[in-house]
Amino acid sequence: MGATDVDPFEYLTRPPPNETPEERTIRERKEVEAKKVSDQIDEEIRKERAVMKKQQNAVRVLLLGQSESGKSTTLKNFRMRYAREEWQAELASWRTVIQLNLIRSVLSILDAVQSELDNDPAEPPGTPGADETEFLHTPTDGSTSPALASPAFNHPSSSKPGQRRPSVSSIHRQLQSKASSSSLRKDALGGKESSLLGGQHQLLKLRLAPLRRVETDLRRQLGASADDEVVDGAASDEYGALGQVDAGSSVRSTGLRRRTTARKEVSVRRLKDALSGGDRAGKSKGHSRTNSEGSGDDAVDEATDVIAKCKDDIKALWMDEAVRLVLKKRKIRLEDSAGFFLDDVDRIAAREYVPSDDDVVRARLRTLGVQEYRITVDQPGSVLSGLGATGSEWLLYDVGGSRTMRHAWIPYFENITAIIFLAPVSCFDERLLEDSRINRLEDSFLLWRHVCSSKLLQKTSLILFMNKCDLLKRKLKMGVKVNKYLPSYADRPNEAGHVVKYLKEKFRDIVKANAPEGGRVAYYYATSVTDTKTTYTTLKAVKDIILRDHLKNADFV
C-alpha cells in the first residue's frame, strides 16, 4: 500500500461530510451500541468454545437396561457419592415420592382385601402362569367402592367444619349391617363369604380411605402422567429389543408368570421437575396447616398430616395375620417390589420425617424421558490425578427402558465413553409387561446382543451389572427352580452363586460372538444396587476402569 493510498477501514468509518453535532452524537451512540453487541457475541463464542473443549474431555456414561432393571438406582448411587452437595439439597424433596410409595403399597393391600371380601378369584381364569408364584405386587386401580365414597366415613382432615366424625362403634354397626346384607346376597348367588377377613378389616379399609385422595394429591404435586392401560405387545409384532421382534429364543416362554398390573406405574418426564414441584407444594401447604396436637410452629402439609393420623391403622393392616394370608393367597409380595416402606411406617409417618440416603435410593418413581446429570470425579492421590482435569467431569445418561422407548437409545451411542448395562438376574421366571411372549431374562440377552454388535459402540467400554442378586437369593430360597424356566441350566445347583456364574458365561459368550476384529473386553459385576455400601465399592472399581479406558483412547496412557 503506497503512502497516498486510503485505508479502506478508515474510509468506511470516516464521518460523513458536513455532519452536524446532533448527527455526530447519534452516530457515536449507535457505534457504542454496535460494539457492545459485538463484544457480547464474542463472549458467547468464547464460552461455547470453552464448553466444547470441556465436553471433549468429559466422560460420557450411558445406563442401559430394560424397565425396572435398576438404572435409576445406579444413577442415584453415583450422584450420592460424586455430587454430594446437589444430592443433599434434594433429600427433602424426595419425601413426596416416598410418601406416595408408602400409600400405593397400602392401597395395594386394601385392593387385595376388597377382592377377598368380594370373593374374586386370586388369579383370573386363563391367566398365563396362574400356577406360578407371584413376587411383584399388583398396583391399585384407583377405584373407590361406594362404601369408601360415603361422606360418613371421610377422614377428619377432609370433613366439613362443624361436621362430627362418626364413632368407631357407629361405623362398626354399619359395617355389620352391610356385611350381613352382603352375605345374604352371596348366599343367594351360591357364593361363600371369605373366612379370612371380618368386620375389623372392613373398618380398617374405611379408616384408610382418605389415603386414596392423598395419593391423587401427591401425584398432582409431582406432575405424574395420567394412568393409561398397558398395551401388551403380544397382540402385534410392533416391538422388539430395539424396535422389532427377534425370532428365536433360548429361554422357555411357556408357563411364565406374566407381571399383570391394573395400571401403569406413577411416571414423570423429568425427575428434577417432579422433585421441585413436590417440594414447592409441600412448602406452600406447610404454612397453611398445623397439626391437631401441636402449635403453629409445627406446621405440616396435608399429606403428611393424614399419613401421620393413619399411622396406627397402616401398621395394623400390614401386621394383621389374616391380611398376610390374603396376600400370600393372592401371590402378592410387596416386600420384593421397589419403593417398599411398610416396615418403616413409624419413621416415615412422622411429621418431622426427612428422607435418608437409603430411603431415596430405595424410592421408586418411573421416568419416561432421558435424565442427564453431571458429576465430578476426583482422583486425589491416584496415578491418574497428575493428568489434569481430563476425565474429571462425567455426564451420566439414564434413558427409558420400556420397549416403546428404546428407539431413543441409538442417538446416545455416538461418542459415548462407557455403557453400564443392567440385567436383573432375578427375573428368569417373569414376562415383560409390554409383551407377554417374552421372558425378561431373554429380553436382557437380546438387548445385550444388540449393544455388543453395534458398530457405534466398538470402542466403548462395556460394563455389565447382573443386578438384583438379593432378590434372586430370596426367590431361590422360596423353592423356585431355575431349570424349570431355563432348561439349559440342567441339574446345576439351584443356588444364587451358581446361577450368577452360569448367566455370566452366557453374557460373555455373546460378547465373544459379536466382538470386533482384535477382540473385546467387557467387565462383569454381580450387584444389588439398593445396597449402597457394596455398590459404592463396585462404583469405585468401575470408575477406575472407565477413566483408564477413557485416557487410553485420549492417548494419555
Sheet strands (E) in 131-182: none
Amino acid at 89: A
Between CA 391 and CA 58 the distance in angstroms is 5
Which own/partner contact pairs does 185-193 have at CB distance under 8 Å and 24+ positions apart? Answer: 186/119, 191/119, 192/119, 193/119
138: annotated binding-site residue? no
**Strands 461-467 and 418-424: what pairing?**
parallel
Amino acid at 345: V
470: annotated binding-site residue? yes
Between CA 527 and CA 535 the distance in angstroms is 7
469: annotated binding-site residue? yes
Between CA 271 and CA 372 the distance in angstroms is 10
Return phi, psi of residue 135, to 5°.
-105, -20
C-alpha cell belonging to residue 534: 457394596
What DSSP character marks residue 70?
Answer: S
290: annotated binding-site residue? no
Between CA 545 and CA 523 the distance in angstroms is 9
Between CA 249 and CA 233 the distance in angstroms is 17
329: annotated binding-site residue? no
What DSSP character marks residue 136?
Answer: S
How many CB atoms are located within 10 Å of the residue 544 CB? 15
Amino acid at 98: I
Cβ–Cβ under 8 Å, residues 67 and 401: yes
311: annotated binding-site residue? no
Between CA 259 and CA 266 the distance in angstroms is 16
What DSSP character marks residue 495?
Answer: S
Per-residue 3-state assignment (H helix, E strand, C coil) for 460-488? CEEEEEEECHHHHHHHHHCCCCHHHCCHH
310: annotated binding-site residue? no
Entry field: residues in the chain: 557
Known binding positions for GTP: 336-337, 467-470
Known binding positions for Mg(2+): 367
Known binding positions: 336-337, 367, 467-470
